[in-house]
Structures are given as C-alpha cells and as structure tokens.
C-alpha cells in the first residue's frame, strides 16, 4: 500500500503545487522518488514526530496540503497531543499517514504495533479516519485527500498487500465499498490489510462482504441499508476491540435504531484484538492468529 500511496501522491503533486510531504527519518527507496522530483516540497524532519506535527500545521497554515508520514504508531501515539491541538483544533489541512497498521511491524514488538490509532484518532473532532483494505483503496484515498481541505488520518498496510478490488474506485468521504453482495442473510464488514485474507476465507463465501475505507465518518445511508438488510453483521479489524471499527459501526447502528431508521437491531459480532498487548514478537500472520483474528 505504501508504494501505491507514494505513486499516487506524486501524480497528484504534479497537478497540485500545494502538496507537501514530511517524513520522519525514513525512506528506503519509497519516498526518495518524491524527494527527487519535488525537492522544495519535501523535508525529512528526523526522529522528531511531535515537532513534525507542528511543522505540518505551520505549513498548512501557509497554504500547503501537508502529508505527515511515518511508520507504525510513531506519527500518532507519539504526538497525539500535537495532532489534537496543532492540527485538528485549527482544522489544518494536514494528512497524517501511518504505514504499517496493525501487526505489520510485528517482529519489532509491541512498541511498533499500530493497534490503537484508529480508535484514538476517531475521537478527535473534525478528523477523518481512513483505513484502506488494498492498494486500490489506498490510491483512491490518496486522490481524495489531495483535494480534501482539513485533517485526515490514513492508516496503510506496510507492503505487498494483495489487490482485492477488480477496478479503480472513486471514493467520497464516508463511503462503504460493496465487495461481494449476493443478498445473503449475513454480512462481513472488514477494514485494513487483513481484508485480503478475510475475503479469500471460506467464511466469506457464505456471506456478503463490505470493506470500510472510512472509520469516521461512515455513510449513514449505506450503513442504514446494511443494518436493515442482514440478520448478522460481523466486523473484523486488526485493532483493539475497544473504540475500534466495530465500536464505530455499533454506535451508528444504535443511533439509527433509536431514531427508528433501523427497524430491527441486527446481531453484531466483533472480531478484534482483546484487551491485552502481545508479549512476543513474530510475523504479522503469526500475531493475527495468536490474537484469534483468523
């Protein structure tokens, strides 16, 4: 996904001279092409993510659409106060981009596991929170973010994620993507890089499947239709169960049920990381299985 993101960002930057990329002491042949082509719109701020958030806010207030890019939870948990106060409070045009969501950096231990950020960022007022499921969704979200005026968080997979969609997408903020809809009685809603495993599973053959590129906001018309169409909805995420994607879906359905827009409350099954840290290191797939996500 990170390659799809950078490639699409370069395409957008050729059309929009206000796009600016900040990174925190990383590259490894991923961001270097952007730096070479747009040297005046690229800065490596170093291992100083809190400072980088402030720099991003300042550049945004000078008229730039700023992408603030780093790995795992470093652009989020490390500087959540700066994102809240410098970026979101001022509704600054800053896109916080984390590469390696979930257990992507699983072999580096819990300090590098990005399993809380979706929940944390969605509580911040005005913040759009995105979690693409494959490179096609990553490209579509990059295009959307290039013209969106305001704060946004995009959590990418690390590298090598499979393409699951058959065609390019044109996303609007909040869209839910129907992946396989055959009018079954049950549905799966999945987000993030774990989606490629889920859509290929035997369980997905028995249900309808939707991907959720936006954790916040969620399209109310679409989630209302989904809630009214299925007896059981399973939400799968590589994230802490508390305040995660399943929580966001339940909140929306509960409010819709209270208002009478959902006639009968469906059973909602959440598959997510329980309330603990992984105390071992290992591959992403190993940790997913250890957390009972698969």
**Cβ-count burial of 176 within 10 angstroms (0-12 exposed, 13-18 middle, 19+ buried)?**
buried
Read off the pTM: 0.96
Query: What is the C-alpha separation between 124 and 184, in angstroms, rounded?
Result: 36
Mean pLDDT of 153-162: 92
- The pLDDT assigned to 28 comes to 66
pLDDT digits (tens, 9 = 90+) for 83-125: 999 999 999 999 999 999 999 999 999 999 999 999 999 999 9
Domain boundaries, the chain: 2-156, 177-290
Average pLDDT, the chain: 96
User: Would you tell me which CATH number, out of the four given (3.40.50.970, 3.10.310.30, 3.40.1160.10, 3.40.190.10), belongs to the domain 2-156?
Assistant: 3.40.50.970
232-240: strand order across its sheet = 177-180, 208-211, 186-190, 232-240, 267-273
- The pLDDT assigned to 159 comes to 78
* Residue 54, preceding peptide bond in cis (omega within 30° of 0): no
pLDDT digits (tens, 9 = 90+) for 29-75: 789 999 999 999 999 999 999 999 999 999 999 999 999 999 999 99
Candidates 79, 77, 63, 70; CA nearest to 20 is 63
DSSP state letters, 231-290? SEEEEEEEEESTTSHHHHHHHHHHHHHHTTSSSSPPEEEEEEE-SS---S---HHHHHHH
Per CATH, 2-156 and 177-290 having the same topology is answered: yes
Domain 177-290 falls in which CATH fold?
A: Rossmann fold (3.40.50)
């Amino acid at each position: 996904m990170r390659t799809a993101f950078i490639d699409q960002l370069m395409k957008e930057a050729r059309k929009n001279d206000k796009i600016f990329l900040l990174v925190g002491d990383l590259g490894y042949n991923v961001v270097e092409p952007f730096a070479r082509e747009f040297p005046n719109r690229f800065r490596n701020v170093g291992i100083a993510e809190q400072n980088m958030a402030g720099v991003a806010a300042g550049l945004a207030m000078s008229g730039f659409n700023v992408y603030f890019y780093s790995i795992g939870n470093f652009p989020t948990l490390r500087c959540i106060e700066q994102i809240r106060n410098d970026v979101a409070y001022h509704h600054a045009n800053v896109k916080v981009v984390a590469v390696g969501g979930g257990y992507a950096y699983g072999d580096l231990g819990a300090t590098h596991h990005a399993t809380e950020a979706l929940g944390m960022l969605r509580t911040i007022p005005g913040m759009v929170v995105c979690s693409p499921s494959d490179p096609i969704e990553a490209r579509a979200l990059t295009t959307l973010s290039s013209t969106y005026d305001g704060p946004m968080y995009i959590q990418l997979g690390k590298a090598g994620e499979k393409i699951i969609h058959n065609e390019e997408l044109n996303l609007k903020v909040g869209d839910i993507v129907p992946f396989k809809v055959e009018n079954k009685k049950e549905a799966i809603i999945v987000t993030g890089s774990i989606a490629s495993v889920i859509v290929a599973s035997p369980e997905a053959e028995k249900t309808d499947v939707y991907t959720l590129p936006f954790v916040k906001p969620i399209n109310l018309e679409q989630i209302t239709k989904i809630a009214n169409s299925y007896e059981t909805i399973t939400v799968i995420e590589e994230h802490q169960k508390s305040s995660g994607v399943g929580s966001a879906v339940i909140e929306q359905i509960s409010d819709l049920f209270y208002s009478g827009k959902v006639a009968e409350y469906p059973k909602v099954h959440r598959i997510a990381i329980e309330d603990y840290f992984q105390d071992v290191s290992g591959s992403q797939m190993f940790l997913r299985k250890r957390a009972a996500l698969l």
